[in-house]
Amino acid sequence: MDLHDQLAEHVTFFGELGVTGVSRDRRWRERAPDMSNGAPSSLAGAAAVADASDRSAADILAQIRADIGDCTRCKLCNLGRTQIVFGVGNPDADLMFVGEAPGGDEDIQGIPFVGRAGQLLTKIIESIRLKREDVYIANVIKCRPPGNRNPDPDEVATCEPFLMRQIDAIKPKVIVALGKFAAQALLKTQDPISKLRGRIYRYGDAQLIATFHPAFLLRSPERKRDVWEDMKRVRAILRGE
Ligand code: URA
């Protein structure tokens, strides 16, 4: 494919994602000093500019959902997904949780984190005296991978821009990346979750904390203590401490 065709494909893809313009504002390209691997991508910035207006976060989220449509952009549409699992919660949330991908229960109900791991996530949220309805919950991948396998890199690359737009719409103060997959996708790193935990990252205007996935906690309950430490950090940031 020559450069012209590549560019045309790129622009078409961005158009499909609902990106109607790009910004020359250099702030969209600036990265936080300690975040060489974790700032929002320029695509997210471009999408954010497209979404930036006086519209409410709820309206922007509705637009992003409409842009996704009955998505056939990646192979997951043909691999047994029942429906797209977009996201749930308060569009104006200060706190946003990002998981990996829908599992079986989520695929059936169309809502993220409603299975056993989801019930544990609800408890984790309540542990800092918030309700599920107060926060926003989404996944990196919006369709269930067959057999709950890990998402493939091309599936992440295709779907991730919609997550970026969700983050840009909600403008959370704190993002909690649940598990290795979400943390690696958001922070653009291959580091293990054990290394990514325990510090606070800047993610655009938000602060990002990586913690263990609730499904991992179901298998390794002894790590709940670590998640509690992470959630105390989250609570402190939300309280402005
Ligand atoms: N695990 C995830 O990462 N996301 C869900 O929505 C459910 C389980």
Number of domains in the chain: 1
pLDDT one-digit tens code per residue, 131-157: 999 999 999 999 999 999 999 999 999
Would you place residue 40 in the very low, low, confident or very high pLDDT band (cuts 50, 70, 90)? very low
Task: Return the pLDDT at 34.
Answer: 39
Residue type, 52: A
Asked, for residue 215, whether it belongs to a domain, the answer is yes
Would you place residue 54 in the very low, low, confident or very high pLDDT band (cuts 50, 70, 90)? confident
Q: Are 144 and 103 in contact (CB under 8 A)?
A: yes
The CA distance from 204 to 75, in Å, is: 30
Full domain range(s) for residue 178: 53-239
Say if residue 71's pLDDT is above 70. yes
Asked, for residue 30, whether it belongs to a domain, the answer is no
Mutate to test the pocket of ligand 1, among 82, 106, 181, 212 (most ligand atoms within 8 A of CB): 106
Residue type, 130: L
Ligand 1 near 99 CB (within 6 A): yes
Q: Are 176 and 234 in contact (CB under 8 A)?
A: yes
**In the chain, % of residues over pLDDT 90:** 78
Say if residue 15's pLDDT is above 60. no
| 115: CB partners within 8 A, 6+ apart | 103, 104, 105, 106
Asked, for residue 21, whether it belongs to a domain, the answer is no
Alpha helices in 198-239 (DSSP H): 214-219, 224-238
The pair of structure tokens assigned to 81 is 């997904």
Residue, of 28 and 83, whose pLDDT is higher = 83
Task: Return the pLDDT at 51.
Answer: 61
Asked, for residue 46, whether it belongs to a domain, the answer is no
Asked, for residue 25, whether it belongs to a domain, the answer is no
